[in-house]
Amino acid sequence: MPGIATFFYLVLIIIYLAMGAAIVFHMLYYKINRHVALVMFLIYVIGAVLLLVSNFIIFRSVNWYMLISNAGF
């Protein structure tokens, strides 16, 4: 059962990365000011990486066996 949780987590990560790639593409393609676009790109990427890493750390800290056994599955 924890394999199912990992599978759904990976699906969410793939969706997150695809949406992030679309945002980065639009930030860089439709830039008005090159300097501002570069700064916004760096802020977005650093923030996204920090959120992704913290989310992964929290996901790994969950005891899925205990959580699923207490849920009655």
For position 1, what pLDDT does the model report? 53
For position 73, what pLDDT does the model report? 59
**CB neighbours of 40 closer than 8 A, spacing ≥ 6?**
27
For position 28, what pLDDT does the model report? 82
> Within 30-62, where are the H helices?
34-61
pLDDT digits (tens, 9 = 90+) for 30-69: 877 888 888 888 999 999 999 999 999 999 998 878 877 7
**CB neighbours of 20 closer than 8 A, spacing ≥ 6?**
44, 48
Boundaries of domain holding 31: 2-71
Number of domains making up the chain: 1
Rounded Cα distance, 12 and 30, in Å: 27
Identify the sign of the CA torsion 22, 28, 30, 33. Answer: positive
pLDDT digits (tens, 9 = 90+) for 16-32: 999 999 998 988 888 77
